Amino acid sequence: MSEQTLTSIELMNLLSDGMVVVNQNQTILFANPASAELLHRKHADLIDNPFPYPLEPSQPIIQITLEQCKCKLRLETRSIPWEGQPADLIIIRDITEQEYLVQAQQNKDRYFHMMMENAVDMLALFDGNGILQYINPAMERTLGYTVAESTGKHLSYFFDEASASFVTRFLSKLPTNEEERLEGTADVLHKDGSIRTLSTTTTYLPENLNTKIYIVNCHDITETIQHEKEIQESERRFSKLFQVMPYPVLLFRLSDWVVLETNDYYLPKLKINLKDMVGKTIDTLAGSALNYEVLTTEISKHGRIREMPMT
């Protein structure tokens, strides 16, 4: 046996991967120490015995599972000359941890997909150019478009012409790392032509190495904004009516007598304007219990004191 062959054997004996050489009858001619450890067999039981797993020329790479340890091994067969005769080199590698990591990633992807598919809010994945890569079914409920209609569209497709510049500004402000969040609101075009206001939170997904991918969470706040506008309008009308009442009006908390609001009314005997009482307690302003009685009497002369439920 040549010096070069001896060197190759010495190298194979040092490898952590299993190295087994078999002849054309699949009888083991050589096995390094790592192969015995990986196959969970004694080294002496391997030499001159058939390789314990069938090898097919049509399948140079196979995977096997050892029941005794639940280990998964990858076997790769290569044709080589061995001592002047044709032989096969079987490279054995433990891929148990690799398979576990692959399975864990697949589970993560599956859970992520389930979360996206079943989310109440609209969730979308898009690239740095603004092209939608994925949209969850909430899209149809929120904006009326099906998933098929939306996927592959540019974000500008969902905005009217007046809002075209919004998309350009939005894309220019995208996060550059996973810690950043881009939050805001957007007036988006519904399929029926109406405008829906969405609260948006955009983050960067660093897992994708081929292209920059972003995820945006969209929550429809159209009804909330409309409700707030109605409340503001109601308060405006109430305030206007409040100020034109012909008698003194005070709104105060019964718990601490702090005046919340008054109309613009002057009490001549006390020489005060009710507006000066906002934020103060009635008894403090009156100065004493006697003055408090005078105050309430004076108010009663010009109007009435009445309890009102406050929310």
Q: Is residue 165, in this structure, part of any structural domain at all?
A: yes
Query: Facing residues of 122 across strands?
Result: 218
Q: What is the DSSP letter of 56?
A: B
Per-residue pLDDT tens digits for 121-172: 999 999 999 999 999 999 999 999 999 999 999 999 999 888 878 999 999 9
192 shares its domain with 125: yes
Question: Looking at residue 290, what is its pLDDT?
Answer: 42
C-alpha span between 229 and 304 (Å, rounded): 32
Q: Which of 221, 223, 192 is nearest to 122 (CA)?
A: 221
Q: Is residue 240, in this structure, part of any structural domain at all?
A: no
Given 62, 94, 126, the domain boundary residue is 94
- 67: region left, alpha or beta (phi > 0 left; psi from -120 to 50 alpha): alpha
113 vs 48, higher pLDDT: 48
Sequence-ordered alpha helix ranges (H) in 59-163:
96-118, 138-143, 147-150
Question: Looking at residue 268, what is its pLDDT?
Answer: 67
Classify strands 71-82 and 195-205 as parallel, antiparallel or unpaired. Answer: unpaired
- Residue range 275-303: average pLDDT? 61
64 shares its domain with 150: no
- Residue range 30-54: average pLDDT? 92
- Count of the separate structural domains present in the chain: 3
Q: Is the pLDDT of residue 38 over 70?
A: yes
74 shares its domain with 162: no
183 shares its domain with 89: no
Query: Facing residues of 106 across strands?
Result: none
218 shares its domain with 137: yes
Query: Facing residues of 267 across strands?
Result: 272
Q: Is residue 107, in this structure, part of any structural domain at all?
A: no
Per-residue pLDDT tens digits for 203-230: 998 866 678 899 999 999 999 999 988 8
Phi, psi (degrees; rounded to nearest 5) at 87: -150, 175
138 shares its domain with 213: yes
Contact partners, residue 93, CB within 8 Å, separation at least 6: 17, 18, 38, 73, 74, 76
Question: Looking at residue 308, what is its pLDDT?
Answer: 43
Q: Which two tokens stand for residue 235?
A: 């308060």
219 shares its domain with 251: no
Q: Which two tokens stand for residue 297?
A: 């009497």
251 shares its domain with 311: yes
Chain CA centroid to CA 179, Å: 12
Q: Is residue 111, in this structure, part of any structural domain at all?
A: no
Residues in the chain: 311
The parent domain of residue 310 ranges over: 247-311
The radius of gyration computed from the CA coordinates of the chain, to the nearest angstrom, equals 40
Given 171, 191, 223, the domain boundary residue is 223
Q: Is residue 289, in this structure, part of any structural domain at all?
A: yes
Per-residue pLDDT tens digits for 175-194: 988 889 999 999 999 999 99
Q: Is residue 53, in this structure, part of any structural domain at all?
A: yes
Q: 26: domain CATH number?
A: 3.30.450.20
Q: Which two tokens stand for residue 257?
A: 């007598």
Question: Looking at residue 203, what is its pLDDT?
Answer: 94
Q: Is residue 106, in this structure, part of any structural domain at all?
A: no
202 shares its domain with 257: no
Query: Facing residues of 69 across strands?
Result: none
C-alpha span between 12 and 19 (Å, rounded): 7
Phi, psi (degrees; rounded to nearest 5) at 228: -65, -40
Beta strands in 130-271 (DSSP E): 132-135, 182-189, 195-205, 213-220, 250-252, 259-262, 266-267
Contact partners, residue 151, CB within 8 Å, separation at least 6: 132, 133, 134, 135
Q: What is the DSSP letter of 12?
A: H
The mean-pLDDT minimum among 214-223, 249-258, 264-273 falls in: 264-273
Q: Is the dihedral of CA 118, 121, 125, 131 positive or negative?
A: positive
256 shares its domain with 200: no
Q: Is residue 144, in this structure, part of any structural domain at all?
A: yes
69 shares its domain with 151: no
311 shares its domain with 254: yes
Given 158, 191, 223, the domain boundary residue is 223
